Structures are given as structure tokens and as C-alpha cells.
A and B are shown apart, each in its own frame.
Chain A
Amino acid sequence: MKPSHRLSTALALPLTVVMLSGCGIFGSETFGAEDRSIEVDAGDVFELTLPANPSMGQDWSIVRPGPDRATVRQEGGRKDDFGGDGGADGGGDGTQTFTFQAVAAGTTKIKMSYCVLGDCPDGDDRTATGSPGNDPAYFIYTVTVR
């Protein structure tokens, strides 16, 4: 393997999405795939923006029944952005974004289903501890609303 290429390492790192946690000064706060513990204030709007390159078949959805609506409520539908690949097949920084409203103080979990390469996790599949890579998995985000 060429030394400069560290694919497996990179798959355990934010591959394409630069997340700016705590940027609420300029609007809604944005969290990424690795931000499994999210803290927000009641009334805040925050986004979960996840890597989703169509060429990898990456696709995210909220596992029903979803988070406790008394604590966190989804706002609108998922927003898909292919990111553009500049004409290089397979490249690009595609994302899928979910927007939430922090309703009232409390803690809840958002369980996300991560599908990749045409495959989705089933009921028995593992919960991911690393970053989204080649294997389908569940990603669980714990949201604490202050």
C-alpha cells in the first residue's frame, strides 16, 4: 500500500464532511457522524449532517419510532446534497442532513440506520462505534437538551 494512503484509517475519521460543532452563533448547530453525544439548549435548532456519497450507496434514515418528541422533534425532511464530483466518478463530498428542534430539557436517542453498498443493517446488526465505512450499521446519537 502506498504510505500516503490510509484508507482504513480514514474510514475511521471524518472522510468528507467537515463538521463545525458549536457554530450556533451563525444559525443552527451542525453535528457530524462522530458526534455521538450532542448537547443543545431548549429551543435550539440543530442539524445532523452525515456523509452520503451516492457512488458508495451511502444512505441514512431515522429508525422508528425516532427520538422522544417531547425532547427533540425532527423539522422537515432529509436534505440530500451530492456535493458534486468535478467529473471524477466516485468522488465528491455528498451529505444527507437531518434537522431537529430541541423542544425541552431532557435526554433522548436518535437511532440512525446507515446503509452502504446496497446493503442496510437488519434488526440484529451491530451499533457502530467508529465512522461510517463499508459496513451497514446503526449509529446512535444521544441528545441532551439543557
Chain B
Amino acid sequence: MPDAGESTTDRRQKLAEYHGSISSAGSKNDLVGAINNALGVLAPVGEPGVLEGLAKTYRKQIDDVADVHRRVLKVAGEGLPDAWVGSTGARASEVVMAAARSAEQMEQAFSGAAGALYRLADALTNAKAQDKGGREQLREALGMLGGEDGFFDDMVEKDAEEAERLRARSIAAAGAKAMHTAAEVADDAARAAARDLNKLASEARAGQMKTDNICAADRLVLADIAGSGGPAEMNELLTANDLERSGRAMERLDAREEAEFERMLAEAKTPQERAYLVKALAAGYDVKEVGEFRDKIHGKDPDWLQRHLTPVTTAGDSMADEGVHSSGPYEGANKNTDQQMFNGERWSQEGNTCVPSTVVTGRAMVDPVYALELTGGPSGQEDDPGAFRERLREEQLRMHDEGDGNDAYDFPFGSTPDGMDNDGKTEISTKEISPHTGGEYEFQEIRSADDRRDALPDIQRAVAEGRPVPIGVEGEDENGDRVGHSMMIIGQEGDMLQVYNPWGTTTWVSEDDFVNGNMDKASDKDLPDAYGVHLPAQ
């Protein structure tokens, strides 16, 4: 008897295997063994009734939250005096608008969670019924076959016995197929529900900031601040992880540091300036370092802050499906791809440095102090794309060395980077990104569709929280020569993943694209398969 599957993905894999064994079983004993293996796999687990009850509870909250939303909007419409300020200087109108948006998001979250649970309950009900039918067919087949043959029984098979065995095999194959389909339905539904609920949880952002050092109204405003380059809901400056880490950092401040940090927040000229100060604290810098950073960005307008401190902006139309290039140099690539630039110079690799270039951008996304060093130089005030390119190149080379990347020698001119293996990539991700987000990176090979499917929930949870996930993609030429490339998953909306390519571009691919070898949409036809992922520990 095999081990019963532990996860929905395990069950799916095992039943695919046993369905194959049953369909190809060449003897009675092989068939009996394969049927018993399939019956040993657990039926889909979970109680649809419990899930529906939970969904109903969420649904009931929607009306209450909608009422709060309406009342807050009314207050926002009538206006408040500017004299009302929070302890960090967040103006009252900001607080009211943030509260309105928070109430609206809460309404959407309850609705989304209820929908996710109803869909899971429905899928589970169907999967259980289908699994049950499949098991009955397997048992019917076993009944037709009787017990396993002994050694001598197995030596001769009469025509009638063979016909009966083949009939039993046909019934058993249909049963196993039904069980496998049920397992697929349950697996897909479970992953979709986990994905949606994790995303909703990460979007309950203000609640992530657990500190008494900052009042509830200001927490609400901070969680709501977005950059200037795209729609607010796709460009929030503080991730769930930033809010959680900054809250913990504030709890550790002594009285003097706390007063100093509050002063910086209160004196911030824009909500965005305030958010970047909190992001710097979340990235692990102490109050003195945050103060130095503050001196460089104080009073800058939101566009300047966006350009210098946020490498990736998500455009409002970035998720529109415009199809892929059907021919030409970038065949297979999404047409809808955004270039990520600083003053016209892309956040892109130079030479064979895709791995360190991925990590440089990954760190710049989570560490605004580092981003400013690259864009604004030592003074933090530069706006020169050429100087930015020079600094970016030096950083790519520094991380190439740090990860012990390969070099190509070109005597007598020195050497140039020539790729990096996954050990090096894990090392630089952990050294460069982890100190600013928490959680060391670990490499996980995902060379099959099942492995990729299995990794998706962890990837989605990480990026929903604001931790970038470097991945490896690969392809082969007609001679079987392999080429690999580094990219990074940086966002998630529904079943779509936002991918950064160190060519200096971002685009969206679906979960199915990721699982089924269509990652060429984020690069081109030469690099279709995701084969590895570097996941941050929770």
C-alpha cells in the first residue's frame, strides 16, 4: 500500500501515475496492484459545508462595511478643517480619504474572501462526488478480477479470463481517470483559494503595523500612500512586509530615537516622503541613517521621489492582454511590456550579468537608501542617467564577484562576467535582499509542471508581502545546448504574476504560463521554462 498523498498536489501526481499503471497493466496481478495503489490515495479532504458557513459569515459583513464606507465618504465630501492633524502630521483629510479607501478595500476583501470560499466549497463538492464514483469503478473492477493469482495461476491465462481482465482494466482506468480529474479539480481550487486569501490578507495593510508609537489614523494613511507613476492600488509604496517590519522597528526605538523619527515624519513635505522614511526604517536602517537619507530627499516632489527611489512602476494598462509577438526577434514575448527606467536609462543588465542585475534591482525595490545611492549618487541629488548607468554597472560587477560568478577571459584586456550558478544567486539574494526584508533565500528546483505548481503558493505569498522572488528560466537550441536566464517575480494579482526581466522590462504572465513552460512571454521563445526559484523563508 502506498503512502496516502499528503497534499492536493501529491494526490494529483500519484493518481496520474496510477492511472497510467492501470491503463498499461499487462497482467492480472499488475492490474490488481495498480488498482489498490489508486484506492490507497486519500479522497479530497475538507468540508464544503464548513467552508460555505464561513463564506456566509463574510458575506454578512459586507453590508456593514459598505455602510461605513458610505459614511466616511460623506465626511470626506463635506470636508474637514486643515487644523486637525495626527501625531505624525498626516492631515485629517488624508486620514479620511485613507479611511474611505480602506473601507472600500475591506468591502472588496470580504466579498473576495466569500467568493473564494464559495468557489472552493463548490469545487470540493464536485471533486468528492467524482472521486467517489471513480472509487466505485475501481472496486467493481477488483470484484471482477478476484484476488491476485498465485505463481502457477499466473502462467496461463484463458481467452475468457483475458477478456474479463481487459474489461476490468477498462473500467478501472475510467475510475482512476475520474479520481485523477477530481484530484486536479481539488488541487486547482485549493491553490486558487490559498492564493486569493493570502493576497487579501496581505492587503489588510494598516493592520500589519503593530506599534503604539504611531496612531491608528497615521497607520491608515501610511498604508494607503502610493507612488506617482501609476494607479494607486498597484503602486503602494509600503508593502505588507514593510509595514510589519517598520512597526517592529519602531517598537525597538528608545525615547530619543522615537522623538527624532516622529519629527522627521511630521516635517515631511508629502505623504510619499513620509512613506519612504518608513520604508527606510523597515529596510533595517537606524534612525541616524534614516536621518541622513531624509536630508537627501526632504522636500522633493513625488515624481522625483518615484524616479529616484522606486525602480519599478506598474502602469494602469500593464495587465491588458495584447497577445504575443508571432514572429521577429522577440517571438513569443508579450507585446504589452513596460520598460523600467531612470531618466531614460533602463534598470537593465550589462553584459552577461543577468543574475546580479536581477538582485541589484530586487534590492533597490526594497531598500530606498540603496536605490538613491544608485540613482542620485553620493549626494543623492544627481539626476544624470549616464552616471546612474556607471553606478549600476559597478554594482552588477560587485555582486557578480560576491556570488563568485564565472568569468570569460579576454587576454590581455582582463575578464568579463559570464554567468552565475544558483549557489551564487542564492548567496547574493540572501546577502543583498534578505537584510532588508527578513528571511534568507533558498533555492528550489522546479523542472516539472507539478513542481512549479507546488511552488506557486509560496511565490505568491512572498510577493504579496513585498518580497521579490528571483527565478531561473531556460531553453535549449536544436543541438540540445542549454541557456539559462535570471528573472524575478515581483507582483501578483489574481492568477497573474508580474515578472521583472533584467533587460529592464516588466510584464505579466499567468500562473498557467509559469507552470506550463510559457515564460517566453517575459523574454522570448529561447527561454520558455521556469526551472528554479529562490524563495525567502517566512
Q: Which residues of A contact B523 (CB under 8 A)?
A: 54, 57, 118
Determine whether the beta carbon of B415 is less than 8 Å from that of A4. yes
Q: Which residues of A contact B348 (CB under 8 A)?
A: 117, 134
A82 contacts which of B353, B416, B472, B482 (Cβ < 8 Å)? B482
Name the distance in Å between A132's Cβ and chain B's nearest Cβ: 11
Name the distance in Å between B356's Cβ and chain A's nearest Cβ: 9
Answer yes or no: B512 CB below 8 A from chain A CBs.
no
Q: Which residues of B contact A57 (CB under 8 A)?
A: 329-330, 503, 523-524
Determine whether the beta carbon of B421 is less than 8 Å from that of A87. yes
Determine whether the beta carbon of B486 is less than 8 Å from that of A7. no
Determine whether the beta carbon of B414 is less than 8 Å from that of A92. no
Determine whether the beta carbon of A4 is less than 8 Å from that of B354. no
Q: Which residues of A contact B400 (CB under 8 A)?
A: 5
B409 nearest in chain A by CB position: A4
Q: Please indicate which of the listed interface residues A11, A14, A82 has the most CB atoms of chain B within 10 Å of its own CB.
A: A82
B419 contacts which of A5, A92, A118 (Cβ < 8 Å)? A92
Q: Which residues of B contact A115 (CB under 8 A)?
A: 329-330
**Chain A, 1-56, CB within 8 A of any chain B CB:** 1-11, 13-16, 53-56
Name the distance in Å between A19's Cβ and chain B's nearest Cβ: 13
Q: Which residues of A contact B504 (CB under 8 A)?
A: 117-118
Q: Please indicate which of the listed interface residues B351, B354, B420, B485 has the most CB atoms of chain A within 10 Å of its own CB.
A: B351
Determine whether the beta carbon of A9 is less than 8 Å from that of B486. no
Expressed in whole angstroms, the Cα–Cα distance for A59 and B524 within the complex equals 11
Q: Which residues of B contact A8 (CB under 8 A)?
A: 393
B421 nearest in chain A by CB position: A88
Expressed in whole angstroms, the Cα–Cα distance for A136 and B333 within the complex equals 17
B346 contacts which of A6, A94, A117 (Cβ < 8 Å)? A117
Determine whether the beta carbon of A91 is less than 8 Å from that of B352. yes
B397 nearest in chain A by CB position: A5
Stretch at the interface among B62-70, B115-123, B473-481: B473-481
Answer yes or no: B258 CB below 8 A from chain A CBs.
no
B346 nearest in chain A by CB position: A117
Q: Please indicate which of the listed interface residues A1, A55, A82 has the most CB atoms of chain B within 10 Å of its own CB.
A: A55
Q: Contacts A2-B397, A80-B477 hold; do A15 and B351 have CB atoms under 8 A apart?
A: yes
Expressed in whole angstroms, the Cα–Cα distance for A134 and B393 within the complex equals 12
Q: Give how many A-B residue pairs fall within 8 Å (CB-CB).
A: 173
- Chain B residues bordering chain A, tally (CB within 8 A): 56
Answer yes or no: A125 CB below 8 A from chain B CBs.
no
CB-CB contacts of B405-435 with A at 8 A, as 1s and 0s? 1111010011111111110010000000000
Q: Which residues of B contact A13 (CB under 8 A)?
A: 410, 413
Name the distance in Å between A114's Cβ and chain B's nearest Cβ: 9
Q: Please indicate which of the listed interface residues A2, A15, A88, A94 has the most CB atoms of chain B within 10 Å of its own CB.
A: A88
A113 nearest in chain B by CB position: B329
Expressed in whole angstroms, the Cα–Cα distance for A91 and B418 within the complex equals 4
Answer yes or no: A106 CB below 8 A from chain B CBs.
no
Expressed in whole angstroms, the Cα–Cα distance for A118 and B397 within the complex equals 22
Determine whether the beta carbon of A5 is less than 8 Å from that of B414. yes
Answer yes or no: A89 CB below 8 A from chain B CBs.
yes
Expressed in whole angstroms, the Cα–Cα distance for A113 and B329 within the complex equals 10
Determine whether the beta carbon of A55 is less than 8 Å from that of B329. no
Answer yes or no: A61 CB below 8 A from chain B CBs.
yes
Answer yes or no: B483 CB below 8 A from chain A CBs.
yes
A57 nearest in chain B by CB position: B503
B406 contacts which of A11, A82, A91, A94 (Cβ < 8 Å)? A91
Expressed in whole angstroms, the Cα–Cα distance for A3 and B474 within the complex equals 31
Residues of A within 8 A of B (CB): 1-11, 13-16, 53-57, 59, 61, 80-92, 94, 113, 115, 117-120, 133-134
Q: Given A88-B406, A89-B486, A134-B348, 5 more contacts at CB 8 Å?
A: A5-B401, A8-B393, A55-B419, A84-B483, A91-B352
17 contacts between A and B (CB under 8 A): A5-B417, A6-B413, A15-B408, A54-B475, A55-B485, A80-B477, A82-B482, A85-B419, A85-B484, A86-B419, A88-B418, A88-B421, A90-B352, A90-B354, A90-B485, A91-B420, A115-B329
Shortest 9 CB-CB distances between A and B: which pairs?
A: A91-B419, A88-B419, A59-B329, A89-B484, A54-B526, A90-B354, A117-B503, A84-B481, A82-B477
